[in-house]
């Protein structure tokens, strides 16, 4: 639990404020606003050179920590030239390909580990369409497989991530700032805001991150574990979801992020993002990062690991190894799922369907139905995106979730170069893998098809 010297101990990299494990090696985000600001001019110059070469569209290929901050930046600043691809749905990939002029597009392959299956599959797919290294950059940690691939293919540039920063803490690192600069966002202003907030989060009193995190932690200790994040025009909750869920959802504990949900209820607390101007997003990223690190001291967990994320990946690989496409038949029903609701539960829609405005509306209607019938807060996410975001909480957090998987017919197969499976079989295997992983952990699950909504 937070003590009077907590702030000093965090800045001193004292891992015993959490579990005394390896937390100290994951605190590079504390210095990243200053460190990245020193590189801002160089990154802006690189972006100007890209634009001068006539590459006026940017496609970011990434998942989780590599995609969510760029997506929120894209929405907040209204940058339609940036497209973020973090789905394996064949229809969405075909739609993106039809939207862009391949010869005027810069592709950004972003993966901290350099081995993310979805990102590598997207990269190989679009590389086969272009084959021109001048249209490609990578953002990855030093020495990764992706760095080696970029060198082999003659990518225009490789931007290194900071190895002491985990993915969900990387918004103000190269993973967030390079895509932003490429579409003309003033990253110096974003980083100045982040640097200012970092200084404010060093204070013992009137410390914005400490206050937010203490609220999260003390609320959790009182049974208010649902963080109802107020909506913003830029969809801040989409990024905050991963930060909160993946950092705290483990060892049977966890804060449940619920963007857009009412905070009116005994198991809930309100969280209002403070973004008075687009550039202030930089400071808000840092405030929430610090707050979640503080909250984790109340839960007595390591906020920087993700011990249960691998489970769905392993199950997916098992399904893929069969060489067959899973049937994804209905299992259970909404009625049966809702009948199992208990006080303090939450409902979660896991939609392995193509992201679109029409499907956003369908999911909103489904969420409203679940909310009315269960009395629970309702969260929802597209698969496989949520596997890299809230998936850790679903499997490692408290057994308070009612999980409703929604699937569709992804259409014709779309080949992935040099893989024995295509995107259709991949997304269906990911759906089956996560469903089985949840069942193995005794979670309450059901599966329906999109046309039933």
pLDDT digits (tens, 9 = 90+) for 387-429: 999 999 999 999 999 999 999 999 999 999 999 999 999 999 9
Put the strands of the sheet holding 157-160 in their side by side order.
Answer: 82-85, 57-61, 105-110, 136-140, 157-160
Tokens, residue 350: 């896991």
Q: Residues 193-202: pLDDT tens digits?
A: 999 999 999 9
Q: For position 401, what pLDDT does the model report?
A: 98
Sign of CA dihedral 195, 201, 206, 212: positive
Q: Residues 83-132: pLDDT tens digits?
A: 999 999 999 999 999 999 999 999 999 999 999 999 999 999 999 999 99
Sign of CA dihedral 206, 208, 212, 217: negative
Q: Residues 374-390: pLDDT tens digits?
A: 999 999 999 999 999 99
Distances (CA, A) of 221 to 17, 264, 299, 428: 17, 18, 8, 38
Q: For position 312, what pLDDT does the model report?
A: 86
Place of tokens 């939450």: 346
Q: Residue 75 contacts by C-beta under 8 Å, 6 or more apart in sequence?
A: 233, 234, 235
Kindly indicate the confidence band of residue 368, based on its pLDDT and cuts at 50, 70 and 90. very high
Kindly indicate the confidence band of residue 65, based on its pLDDT and cuts at 50, 70 and 90. very high
Contact 311, 340 (CB under 8 A): no
pLDDT reading at 142 higher than 70: yes
Indicate the helix (H) or strand (E) that contains 322: none
For helices 174-182 and 68-77, what crossing angle results, to 10°? 40
Q: For position 343, what pLDDT does the model report?
A: 96
List of domains in the chain: 32-190 (3.40.50.10490), 199-299 (no CATH), 309-452 (3.40.50.10490)
The residue-averaged pLDDT of 213-230 equals: 98
Q: Residues 261-318: pLDDT tens digits?
A: 999 999 999 999 999 999 999 999 999 999 999 999 999 999 999 999 988 899 999 9
Q: For position 355, what pLDDT does the model report?
A: 97
Q: For position 415, what pLDDT does the model report?
A: 98
Q: For position 2, what pLDDT does the model report?
A: 59
Q: Residues 5-57: pLDDT tens digits?
A: 999 999 999 999 999 999 999 999 999 999 999 999 999 999 999 999 999 99
Tokens, residue 169: 């803490």
Q: For position 29, what pLDDT does the model report?
A: 98
pLDDT reading at 3 higher than 90: no
Distances (CA, A) of 219 to 48, 355, 399: 46, 33, 19
Q: Residues 225-253: pLDDT tens digits?
A: 999 999 999 999 999 999 999 999 999 99
Distances (CA, A) of 31 to 116, 166, 216, 366, 426: 26, 13, 23, 42, 38
Q: Is 327 left (phi over 0), alpha (psi -120 to 50) or beta?
A: alpha
Contact 381, 390 (CB under 8 A): yes
Give the integer Cα–Cα distance in Å for 69 and 176. 6
Q: ω before 24 within 30° of 0 (cis)? A: no
DSSP 253-308: B--EE-TT----STTEEEE----SSGGGHHHHHHHHHHHHHHHHHHHTS-TT--TT
Q: Residue 21 contacts by C-beta under 8 Å, 6 or more apart in sequence?
A: 15, 302, 305
Q: Residues 320-348: pLDDT tens digits?
A: 999 999 999 999 999 999 999 999 999 99
């Amino acid at each position: 639990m937070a003590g009077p010297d907590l702030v000093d101990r965090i800045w001193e990299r004292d891992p015993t404020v959490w579990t005394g494990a390896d937390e100290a090696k994951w605190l590079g985000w504390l210095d990243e606003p200053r460190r990245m600001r020193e590189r801002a001019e160089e990154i802006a110059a690189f972006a100007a050179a890209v634009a001068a070469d006539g590459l006026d569209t940017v496609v970011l290929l990434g998942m989780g920590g590599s995609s969510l901050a760029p997506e929120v930046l894209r929405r907040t600043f209204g940058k339609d030239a940036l497209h973020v691809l973090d789905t394996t749905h064949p229809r969405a990939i075909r739609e993106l390909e039809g939207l862009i002029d391949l010869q005027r597009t810069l592709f950004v392959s972003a993966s901290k580990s350099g081995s993310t299956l979805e990102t590598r599959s997207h990269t190989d797919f679009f590389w086969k369409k272009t084959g021109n290294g001048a249209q490609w950059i990578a953002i990855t940690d030093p020495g990764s497989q992706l760095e080696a691939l970029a060198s082999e293919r003659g990518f225009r540039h490789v931007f290194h991530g900071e190895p002491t920063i985990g993915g969900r803490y990387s918004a103000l690192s190269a993973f967030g700032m390079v895509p932003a600069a490429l579409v003309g966002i003033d990253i110096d202003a974003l980083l100045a805001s982040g640097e200012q907030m970092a200084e404010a989060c060093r204070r013992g009193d009137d410390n914005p991150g400490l206050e937010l995190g203490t609220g999260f932690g003390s609320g959790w200790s009182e049974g208010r574990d649902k963080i109802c994040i107020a909506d913003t025009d830029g969809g801040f909750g989409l990024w905050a979801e991963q930060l909160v869920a993946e950092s705290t959802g483990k060892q049977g504990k966890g804060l449940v992020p619920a963007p857009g949900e009412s905070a009116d209820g005994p198991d809930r607390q309100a969280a209002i993002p403070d973004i008075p101007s687009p550039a202030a997003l930089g400071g808000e990223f840092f405030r929430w990062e610090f707050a979640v690190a503080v909250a984790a001291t109340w839960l007595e967990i390591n906020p920087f690991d993700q011990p249960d994320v691998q489970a769905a990946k392993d199950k997916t690989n098992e399904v893929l190894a069969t060489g067959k496409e899973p049937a994804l038949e209905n299992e259970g029903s909404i009625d049966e799922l809702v009948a199992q609701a208990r006080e303090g539960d939450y409902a979660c829609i896991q939609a392995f369907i193509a992201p679109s405005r029409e499907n956003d509306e369908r999911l909103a209607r489904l969420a409203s139905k679940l909310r009315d019938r269960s009395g629970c807060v309702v969260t929802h996410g597209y698969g496989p995106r949520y596997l890299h975001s809230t998936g850790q909480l679903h499997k490692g957090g408290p057994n308070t979730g009612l999980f409703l998987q929604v699937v569709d017919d992804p259409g014709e197969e779309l080949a992935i170069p040099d893989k024995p499976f295509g995107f259709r079989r991949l997304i269906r295997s990911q759906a089956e893998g996560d469903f089985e992983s949840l069942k193995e952990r005794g979670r309450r699950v059901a599966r329906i098809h999109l046309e039933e909504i």
